[in-house]
Structure 1
Amino acid sequence: DSAEDRNLSQKTIPDEPFIHYQAAPAHLFVPSKAPLSVGRTMFETDRLPSEWVVRLNEMTEIWVPSRFNQETFIRSGVNEKKIRIVPGTLDESVYSRDRVNPYPLDVARRFRFLSIFDWSIRKGWDVLLRAYMETFNSLDDVSLILKISRINEPHANVHDEIHRMKSKLGFSSFPHIIVLDSRMTEEEMIRLYAACDAFVLPTRGEGWGRPFMEAMAMQMPVIGTNWSGQLEFMHSENSYLIDVERLSPVPDTMPPHFHGHLWAEPSTEHLKQLMQYVVQHPEEARAKGRLARESLFPKYSLQQTGRRLYKSFRDLICNFV
């Protein structure tokens, strides 16, 4: 045990639970009478909803996954001294390409791009579809697999949106697209990663970006936006980063708590170049995928993250007692 642990064991700690921990969007945090309150949360734009700031400043500590959120929270008015970075984690023994059989994608073509996201404009699906359709055509031996959910837009018709994009572009030939919208188990999702060659998501903003992390753990070359929370573990050596043209206002079609915020506008032209590049340079892309996994572990392993959590709670208790 460390000296801090020995000192802690000699102090009097209340018998009743005295840390109230909750992980959720901050507007869902519930008040607590516990002496210590910890809230783990994140946000995806350049700032926070104003009502979040008041609630967060009432807590003992706020845990965020990334330096991006540390900066946006402080800039929005959250007390800097209350913020602690506690990153995400994955079980590297489960997210392993060597332990699973690839998910059956019988109709998919030779090179397979995978994108996983909830159907929201924040995820940049419009940028992705345009870039893919302008880069490839029906003769190319390439497929784009869209694994989607509809949490934020339950009534969205994805196939209609794809057809609208085709009509807008007006081409006579379009590349192959597969839409998967049924629920899948974690095991099936891992097998889906294993069945594909590259992951792509031109998101406009993430608090952490878990699908990026999962794809990297599965040794996939990853194409993602050069802005927001995923840069905690993505960089130019282990990923293909999409240039950001500018920060643009969040559209009014998003929920009110996003209004007045800014998020990234990823470059469609640069995304087109990157998608073409990974198809034309598969060996280099696979090497980058292997490096991606190596860069995640052991830094973000369950063991390392567990140690970080233990230290975070220990520090909190020591400062209290």
Structure 2
Amino acid sequence: IEVRIHGIFYDAGGYGKVNRNLALKLHEAGVKVRIDPKKSQNQLKASELKPIIELTNTKISKNHISIDSVIPSFAEYASGKYRILYTTIESYSIPKQFLECCQMYREIWVTSPWSASILKKHVDKPIHVIPTGADPFLYTENGPRFDFKPNIKSFVFLSVFGWGYRKGYDVLLKAYFEEFDASDDVSLLIFSRYQSGTSRFHRDKIRDDINDIMRGFPNKEMPHVVRYNQVIPEQQMPQLYRAADCFVLPSRGEGGNLCSPEASLCGLPVIMTNVSGQQMYLRDDNAFLIEMDRLIKTPTGRFGIHYWDGQMFPALTSPEVTDQLKKAMRDVVKH
């Protein structure tokens, strides 16, 4: 079997991780794999980059299977005898351009049963669930912990995500600022990059968004918040999880979400919204689940990505949602 995989490989975020794992695991299984990376800034260390670079030089015939592992809006007409789209669905509706791109392929792979359930309402193609996951040999409870300098508070909430409205940073910060104050021995560590960048511009965007929400609490001594936007190699990510006490991410939509199983394997309680792809991993008996309020059409420009304009996502703006999140965070601290 010969396979060509086209997608993001050099980015340290979730899409790059999924594509690297797919390519390397197929290669280990004896499949002849050639990768065709989309242009992106390299955020990988040399040890992570070497096995991926080697797969760019694999020679394959014109009869290969072609896998485009991309968001459909960025799909290109693939080469190869048999064409597969490997993608993710994060909204409760599907952009028209996604549906148009799906017609270019013989079959479609998605990252979760939830993504498949949404896509099957609109696409008459074979659809298969190829889930993402976490390495249980890497992400473990035992091992070294990240050493924070300067030191942070005794109890650490950790949130790992790409900075954007879909991820619910506004929901998280509002609940955290309402429930805690400077007298609480807690820190919220936000491990996030805006548009995958680490420059001053990207750092300032996150800082400014946090400050905008803090201005809604003008007379309050605010609880501790820490921002970290540098790239950490995946081999060191378990150290970050182990140094925290709880993982929290009130996301509006996920195709699967890698961070929740990674955090759980490292021994952290998980607080997340009971929506979309993370339901593949999370249930009432293994996580603190926040129920959504209602679905709304996304206002133009709200997510900063054109294809999500007008799509259906949980609002997560009601007092009931905030109260659920506040209670879950307080309960984890107490117990």
Fold match (TM-score > 0.5): yes
Structure 2 counterpart of 1:117, one-letter code: F
Distance (Å, rounded) in 2 between the aligned partners of 1:18 and 1:191: 40
Distance (Å, rounded) in 2 between the aligned partners of 1:188 and 1:35: 39
Moved >6 Å (runs of 4+): none
- From 271, 277, 296, the equivalent of 2:325 is 271
Structure with the largest fraction of helix? 1
Q: TM-score, normalised by structure 1?
A: 0.78
- From 145, 149, 169, the equivalent of 2:217 is 169
Summarize the alignment of residues 88-127 of structure 1 with structure 2, pairs less than 5 Å apart.
88-98=132-142, 100-106=143-149, 107-127=151-171
Say how many residue pairs are matched: 265
Deviation for aligned residue 1:219? 1.8
Distance (Å, rounded) in 2 between the aligned partners of 1:97 and 1:33: 43
Q: Deviations over 1:197-255 (max 9, x none)?
A: 00000111111111112112212100001101110111111111011111122121232
The structure that has the greater radius of gyration is 1
Q: Deviations over 1:89-129 (max 9, x none)?
A: 2221111121x310012421111100011110111111111
Distance (Å, rounded) in 2 between the aligned partners of 1:64 and 1:125: 25
Distance (Å, rounded) in 1 between the aligned partners of 2:315 and 2:235: 33
Distance (Å, rounded) in 2 between the aligned partners of 1:233 and 1:164: 33
- Give the aligned partner of residue 75 of structure 2: 29
Summarize the alignment of residues 2-21 of structure 1 with structure 2, pairs less than 5 Å apart.
17-21=63-67
> Is the CA contact 1:131–1:271 (under 8 Å) kept in the aligned structure 2?
yes
Moved more, 45-54 or 230-239: 45-54
- From 136, 152, 156, the equivalent of 2:180 is 136
Distance (Å, rounded) in 2 between the aligned partners of 1:177 and 1:261: 31
Summarize the alignment of residues 195-234 of structure 1 with structure 2, pairs less than 5 Å apart.
195-234=243-282
Distance (Å, rounded) in 1 between the aligned partners of 2:96 and 2:211: 38
Distance (Å, rounded) in 2 between the aligned partners of 1:57 and 1:165: 42
Q: Look up the SS of the partner of 2:160 in the other structure.
A: strand
- From 287, 301, 306, the equivalent of 1:256 is 306
> Is the CA contact 1:123–1:201 (under 8 Å) kept in the aligned structure 2?
yes
- Give the aligned partner of residue 114 of structure 2: 68
Deviation for aligned residue 1:152? 6.8
Distance (Å, rounded) in 1 between the aligned partners of 2:233 and 2:290: 30
Deviation for aligned residue 1:143? 0.7
Deviation for aligned residue 1:165? 1.7
> Is the CA contact 2:134–2:262 (under 8 Å) kept in the aligned structure 1?
yes
Q: Deviations over 1:255-299 (max 9, x none)?
A: 221122111133111100100011111xxxxxxxxxxxxxxxxxx
- Give the aligned partner of residue 41 of structure 1: 87
Structure 2 counterpart of 1:173, one-letter code: E
